[in-house]
Structure 1
Amino acid sequence: MNPSTFFELPAALLVLLFTVAVERLTELWLSWKHARWAKSAGGLEFGRGQFPFMVAAHIGLFAGILTEAGAGHRHFLPYVGGPALCVQVLVHAGRWWCVRSLGPHWNTRVIVIPGMPLIRRGPYRWLRHPNYLLVAVEGITLPLVFNAWMTAVLFTAANAAVLIVRLRTENAALRLAA
């Protein structure tokens, strides 16, 4: 994407991506705080080497949307972008529901405190990993707000590869800690 293309992007796209990026940075700060607490409580970290791949996939999501929307001259299509934007609002509300439900146990790493029981409140009453489901839905719908369907497909594939390893690691860590 050449620099002049960036300035041709719709302001609404830039505002949306900036808002989501600020939310992600807030999540990272909260995660860092919670990870410090978990480690001070005897928490053990698993799968540390996987984290950079997850970060790369998520950075790729933002870069892909900017590139595809800019270089591909993609625009908001109300019949796709409208519902995708509505789903985004629900996804982000759901992600914060996950964060609140886990409290200080929530972080972006796989850190478990031996002997600590699993949390079964909020969305965790029904699903073991609701946050990952919400991230997957976000990865499809965020690009579709501005018709960046190639990014939706590529992120979904990259995220699936990361999550296969991540879920195996996390489930094994939770079994060990129980």
Structure 2
Amino acid sequence: MTLNLVILALVTAARAAELLLARRNTIRLIRRGAVEFGAGHYPLVVALHAAWLGGLWLLARDQPIQPIWLVLFALLQVGRVWVLMTLGERWTTRIIVEPARPLIRTGPYRFLAHPNYAVVAGEIAVLPLAFALVCYAAAFSVLNAMILAIRIRAENAALNRPVG
């Protein structure tokens, strides 16, 4: 198995595990009275990420690896784990808000309002660049930015709404 396929398999396995964790956390939060916001755009998020990863499986198999971009992608994974650990059971792939529960202001949330989206934006650009897929990185970065504009607006509205 080539290094390219190992990298893609690891990323795919990590994303699958995250989806399982997100589903478990979502169910738990909803059972405790949390509410989902912005569900209408969620299929776009899923479609974008599935297309991005699927396209990498098709295009990156035999591409030369650019080590500096691969190192940067590994550093982004540290950021991803930091976000997941900071949010704990509150981390999901959806916008789920528990009424009257304070926002988390620790970890990366001390520095950025949406650190997870910063990590994801980095990953969407950097992993294709690790495989020398410059146009692919640019195209998916633009598509991701368009979806994030919708998502961040929905999340901010949900988090800043009056409680009660």
C-alpha separation in 2, matches of 1:177 and 1:115: 9
- The aligned amino acid for 1:12 is L
C-alpha separation in 2, matches of 1:171 and 1:53: 18
Which consecutive aligned stretches of 4+ in structure 1 deviate over 4 angstroms post-superposition? none
Residue 41 in 1 paired to residue 32 in 2? Answer: yes
Question: 1:113–1:177: 8 Å Cα contact kept in structure 2?
Answer: no
Residue equivalent to 1:114: 99
Distance 1:97 1:177, change over 3 A: farther
- Partner of 1:114, secondary structure, is coil
- Deviation of 1:66 after TM superposition, in Å, equals 3.0
- The aligned amino acid for 2:103 is L
In structure 2, which of residues 59, 63, 66 is the aligned counterpart of residue 74 of structure 1? Answer: 63
Residue equivalent to 1:3: none
Residue equivalent to 1:60: 51
- The aligned amino acid for 2:146 is A
- Deviation of 1:40 after TM superposition, in Å, equals 1.3
Q: Please, what TM-score do these two structures have when normalized by structure 1? A: 0.87
Q: Please, what TM-score do these two structures have when normalized by structure 2? A: 0.94
Residue 140 in 1 paired to residue 131 in 2? Answer: no
- The aligned amino acid for 1:75 is P
Q: Which runs of 5+ in 1 are unaligned?
A: 1-9
Q: State the aligned residue count.
A: 163
What do you get for the CA RMSD once the two structures are aligned?
A: 1.4
C-alpha separation in 2, matches of 1:177 and 1:91: 34
